Structure 1
Amino acid sequence: MLIIKAIYQLPMHICTLCRIGIIAIIINATSPVIVFANNFSQPEIISSPDNSLHSSLNYALNNSTLPLINEVTKLYESRKYNLLWSNGNQYNHHAHALYNAIQNARKLGLNPADYDLDVIKYFLETTIDDSSILGKLDVTFTHAYLKLASDINNKAVSYTLTDEYSLFTNNSFLTNIQANETSNTQNIVETPLLNQDPYSRLLNALEKYRNLSNEFEPIILQKKSLTIGDASSEIIKTRSRLYELGDHKSADLTNDVFDETLALAISDFQYRHGLEADGILGKRTVREINKSIEQRTLQLEVNLDRAKQISELGSNRYILVNVPEYKLHVIENGKAIYQTRVVVGKKKHKTPVLTSEISEFVLNPYWNVPTSITKNEIIPKLQEDPEYLSKNNMKVISKFNNQNIFVDPDIIDWTTMDPEIDSLRIRQDPGKKNALGRVKFVFPNNYRVYLHDTPSRTLFTRNLRAFSHGCVRVENPFELAKVLISNSENWSNEKLDYFAKRKKTKIIRLDKPIPIHITYMTAWADEQGIINFRPDIYKHDSQIANNLYNTAH
């Protein structure tokens, strides 16, 4: 960002537009070296010495440190180093189209600030008659154009973009993005988006919701809930709303009596919103139905970038854990071949978003209790019950010459013991009470989290399952283990069962590591095109939405 980098070096208390104005003054009053640094060589550009605009453009290209300057330079080379966004006196309609496209980048899950939106806006509204500045600004506009084109498909931009596609045609991404038409944005680069991948499905869902009416009279319950046989004027409003959303299949919306057709529609709505699908119109269901189309549209928008990242994972087998969905999926060739429920971290112990690889899993694992859990949970329990460790198959261990030394817990003063200072730790033996259950799936990460079994089975029956300290508890870990070894030449289900029954710790190494991706999708369209929504349990969406809206409005 040739200009915006200089803006950010100004004091932060100066408002954005004021800082842009100051930079404009600096550019006019000082050497261009303030903006450009000749850190690497560029292809020599020959221009007529009497053409000040060409000279300005050439200087900008030769001295820019922009990330895509090589592609920008090739583009100008193919156009004989003519200005693309102005005639030397005023900006053309392509420049204004670019500004509008950047403004609307939010609708594709992109942040307009990444494309120098404020800089472009300022100079579009300012008369510039200095040729030395016009050349530099033209490069700025072009860089923003290519970066946006690259980011829409999340593919590195190449010079062939301008070989195969006219920069300014009616079919260009500028036209499409302004018209909110995303189906043709793949024309920016040679390779189109995968057909009906998660990103494409979410774009289709977004288009559907943008076309829905935002005018809706909220449902107001006069009692705790409504069920089959109840009559109410709110039932007609519920039918109408669910019909618009696609859950109520019958077009007869005048019946004010709660019947099986409405119960089925409510059940479908509840299922795709992560609610208990009981077909009863209760307060939680009403709260979700009453959310505005504008709210849902924004929720879809903030998930676009997440969907794009999933779409790029390819066809090889991988594990996908979606935290707000409380589910784990094994994906192969773009389709789920296995899924199971999971328990994720509490709000104060959030399960992190990460990418890694599972190369092994452990049968009948030990649990090395984290220091924080020892300090905040186990020591207080020990102070109440000195037998707590023995009751839970736990031992105190110290390290000496790289050897584990067992320490008698009765000789420890638990009122003063600090696990963060003392060289003691607690370890739980394998068994029915082990917090990791019978299986632990290991993968490298900076958060010390993993997938594992759990003895607390009842938590999987709940719809909201954020109860862990950050690790992911798996409802059916042995089923998952058998899926992971299904293509193995070294392991079979029978062999796995044999070692599991021995109740001894056993490390199972996979023939080939399997990627694991922990994501945070609060809105998505599944393989059948059903649009799903989930609560923003960690408030990640709010931060993304604020960034998108604060820079787009």
Structure 2
Amino acid sequence: MKKSILPIVFVVFAFLFATISYKKDNEKNKAANPEVINPEVIPDDFNESRAFPFDSTLVQPFFVAYPELKKYQSDVKTLYRKHQYNYIWYDNNRINEVGNLLYIKLNNLDEEGIEAEVPYKDTLYSIFQNPEQVQNPNVDDELLLSSLYFFYAEKVFRGLDAKKIAQMGWYLPRKKQSYVNYLDSLLTNPSLLNKDERELFGQYYRLRELLKKYRQMNQKGEWRAIETDPKIKSFIPGDSSKTIGEIRQRLFQTEDIATDSKSAIYDAELATGILKFKKRNAYALDEVILPKHIAAMNVPLSERIKTIMVNMERCRWMCSCVYNAKELIFINIPEYQLTYFIDGKKALISEVVVGKAMNKTVVFNADMKYIVFSPYWNVPKSILYKEILPAIKKNRNYLAQHEMEWYGNSVRQRPGPKNSLGLVKFLFPNNNAIYLHDTPSKDLFKQEKRAFSHGCIRVAKPVELANLILRDDPKWTPEKIDAAMNRGVESWYPLKNKIPVYIGYFTAWVDDDGAIHFYDDVYKRDPSLASLLFKK
């Protein structure tokens, strides 16, 4: 028994001896270097920068010394309270990766479509060009980086404030983001500063790439106006002209054709390029070249660049969560187009008619909740007083001729093929009284510019839209949908799954193939936005 105890006693003794020796060595190290941290108390998520706290009373004097950054003082204080006033931008006594990336981004702010002076840019430059400052934590440098981070987040991520964009008629929801908390994501994954589609609407990054490309074209100085002969009203395949050669060069510059043969003859290769150009600029797809097409080709690159930047700003206002919905209907007013997304893929594309300049379609969102078959059209009061009553005075049979009737103190149009709403409407209840609907005026969809309505949106493919919405509903088949649309008796059907509808306004858009499309600024909103974004 005594023999079996001896090995155990020996092990215990050895353990105690090692522990005492370790503590003595650790105490010697701490005496020699007070900043050594006892590894026994280091948490799992320890970041070495937390070994460098600073005096919280130094925050206030910083903003006295740097008054141009004072608007970010509250955010900075919140940030450091969260991090217990430890240095954020330093690791191992050096400015960390996200700090260096922020510096690069601030130096290249124009790549983000931003025209703004970075406050205290010279001071920032001196920090990163001075090895001592890069390698030694300094409170002023730390606070400058934090303040400029919030400056960058405001300009690139958030954009103009909500009040200003509402004044421009934009009522789509914006993502609520705490940029104090978002910095934690950047510290974990600095590459998000280059691209984060969870933070910015994905279209933003496509436009950013095209901004770079258009600036490169502009720097080459090869964008010369195409000369035209006022006597020539159009070109068709087979025509020969010096102008044709210049058009070919322009389409090569805009990548609508792959090569420039220098030929002055309108051949098949050029015709293919013309169709691509027309598609990108929302023209009717035929091979005839008219003066208006050449005028579009002659828009200066500087103007195209501004248009791209204006639409990058609009992307900042969009919640990146838009395309996370299982189903989504998106209407782009200047494009006159509706796109129905299912699981992120385009399931239906339809031309639309939107409100004319005097009756602008509102930029907003709501959930589609009902389909109404064989609808009545309840004439809005504004239309009743401005159009219907004057028409009745001129022609007392006006109501009967248009399948209309008095309904209380209002007028409504009975269901049927003459009904202004067509055979079906799609309701997403909202304060703007806007909805999607069919129309008997099908010819309007052949027009290039389709701003004709009183604000509601007319859909070229209402039958396809109804069938797609109800595709999984066992109560409905294509035959039943057709019967309900043509029954002449109004019937409402509540949707089992509400579908988000977003109505937006983008005059530049990059498609899935990387080609940029430019659309007519139907409501003339680009200039007012540009005046807020660009230097005088």
**Normalised by the size of structure 1, how large is the TM-score?**
0.69
Could you tell me how far apart the structure 2 residues matched to 1:341 and 1:80 are? 51
Larger displacement relative to structure 2 (458-467 or 149-158): 149-158
SS in structure 2 at match of 1:280 = coil
Aligned pairs for 1:295-334 within 5 A: 295-307=303-315, 309=318, 311-315=320-324, 316-334=326-344
Is the counterpart of residue 501 in structure 1 residue 486 in structure 2? yes
Larger displacement relative to structure 2 (151-160 or 469-478): 151-160
SS in structure 2 at match of 1:238 = helix
Partner of 1:441: 426
Aligned pairs for 1:220-235 within 5 A: 220-222=227-229, 223-235=232-244
Partner of 1:145: 149
SS in structure 2 at match of 1:77 = coil
Residues 456 and 238 of structure 1, relative CA distance in 2, 3 Å threshold:
same
1:353 corresponds, among 360, 363, 366, to: 363
Q: 1:359 corresponds to which letter in structure 2?
A: K
Is the counterpart of residue 536 in structure 1 residue 521 in structure 2? yes
Could you tell me how far apart the structure 1 residues matched to 2:109 and 2:423 are? 47
What percent identity do the matched residue pairs reach? 31
Could you tell me how far apart the structure 2 residues matched to 1:477 and 1:238 are? 39
Residues 432 and 494 of structure 1, relative CA distance in 2, 3 Å threshold:
closer
8 Å contact from structure 2 (residues 376, 414) kept in 1 = yes
Deviation, 1:140, is: 7.7
Q: 1:372 corresponds to which letter in structure 2?
A: S
Aligned pairs for 1:131-530 within 5 A: 142-146=146-150, 148-149=152-153, 152-153=156-157, 155-159=177-181, 161=183, 165=187, 186-187=192-193, 197-213=202-218, 214-222=221-229, 223-253=232-262, 255-307=263-315, 309=318, 311-315=320-324, 316-398=326-408, 424-530=409-515
- Length, aligned pairs only: 436
Q: Deviations over 1:100-147 (max 9, x none)?
A: 9669656535685xxxx69768999xxxxxxxxx99998687344235
Residues 230 and 384 of structure 1, relative CA distance in 2, 3 Å threshold:
same
8 Å contact from structure 1 (residues 199, 307) kept in 2 = yes
Could you tell me how far apart the structure 2 residues matched to 1:162 and 1:78 are? 14
SS in structure 2 at match of 1:66 = helix
SS in structure 1 at match of 2:476 = coil
8 Å contact from structure 1 (residues 202, 307) kept in 2 = no
8 Å contact from structure 2 (residues 369, 494) kept in 1 = yes
Structure index of larger Rg: 2
SS in structure 1 at match of 2:210 = helix
Q: 1:465 corresponds to which letter in structure 2?
A: R
SS in structure 2 at match of 1:324 = helix
Residues 192 and 474 of structure 1, relative CA distance in 2, 3 Å threshold:
closer
Q: Deviations over 1:493-524 (max 9, x none)?
A: 33323322322111111111000000111111
Give unmatched runs, 5+ long, in structure 2.
1-52, 91-98, 125-137, 159-176
Larger displacement relative to structure 2 (272-281 or 469-478): 272-281
Q: 2:506 corresponds to which letter in structure 1?
A: M
Q: Deviations over 1:310-345 (max 9, x none)?
A: 753133210001111111110123321111111011
Residues 321 and 159 of structure 1, relative CA distance in 2, 3 Å threshold:
closer
Partner of 1:6: none
Residues 516 and 510 of structure 1, relative CA distance in 2, 3 Å threshold:
same
Residues 544 and 105 of structure 1, relative CA distance in 2, 3 Å threshold:
farther
Could you tell me how far apart the structure 2 residues matched to 1:201 and 1:431 are? 45
Could you tell me how far apart the structure 2 residues matched to 1:501 and 1:163 are? 55
Could you tell me how far apart the structure 2 residues matched to 1:64 and 1:263 are? 55
Could you tell me how far apart the structure 1 residues matched to 2:63 and 2:225 are? 60
Q: Deviations over 1:473-511 (max 9, x none)?
A: 011112101111123354333332332232211111111
Runs of 4+ in 1 over 6 A off after TM superposition: 58-61, 121-124, 134-138
Q: 1:464 corresponds to which letter in structure 2?
A: K
Q: 2:224 corresponds to which letter in structure 1?
A: E
8 Å contact from structure 1 (residues 343, 465) kept in 2 = yes
SS in structure 1 at match of 2:495 = strand
Q: Deviations over 1:431-476 (max 9, x none)?
A: 1211111111111222111111111111011111111111100111
SS in structure 2 at match of 1:78 = coil
SS in structure 2 at match of 1:532 = strand
Residues 58 and 457 of structure 1, relative CA distance in 2, 3 Å threshold:
closer
8 Å contact from structure 2 (residues 113, 208) kept in 1 = no
Could you tell me how far apart the structure 1 residues matched to 2:360 and 2:107 are? 33
Q: 1:546 corresponds to which letter in structure 2?
A: S
Give unmatched runs, 5+ long, in structure 1.
1-45, 83-93, 125-133, 173-183, 399-423
8 Å contact from structure 2 (residues 350, 461) kept in 1 = yes
SS in structure 1 at match of 2:204 = helix
SS in structure 2 at match of 1:360 = strand
More helix by share: 2
Partner of 1:546: 531
SS in structure 1 at match of 2:235 = coil
Could you tell me how far apart the structure 2 residues matched to 1:391 and 1:502 are? 20
Could you tell me how far apart the structure 2 residues matched to 1:57 and 1:69 are? 12
Q: 1:216 corresponds to which letter in structure 2?
A: W
Could you tell me how far apart the structure 2 residues matched to 1:231 and 1:349 are? 45
8 Å contact from structure 2 (residues 238, 267) kept in 1 = yes
Could you tell me how far apart the structure 2 residues matched to 1:164 and 1:249 are? 40
SS in structure 1 at match of 2:432 = coil
Q: Deviations over 1:218-262 (max 9, x none)?
A: 112211122222222222211111101101223322x12222221
8 Å contact from structure 1 (residues 165, 188) kept in 2 = no
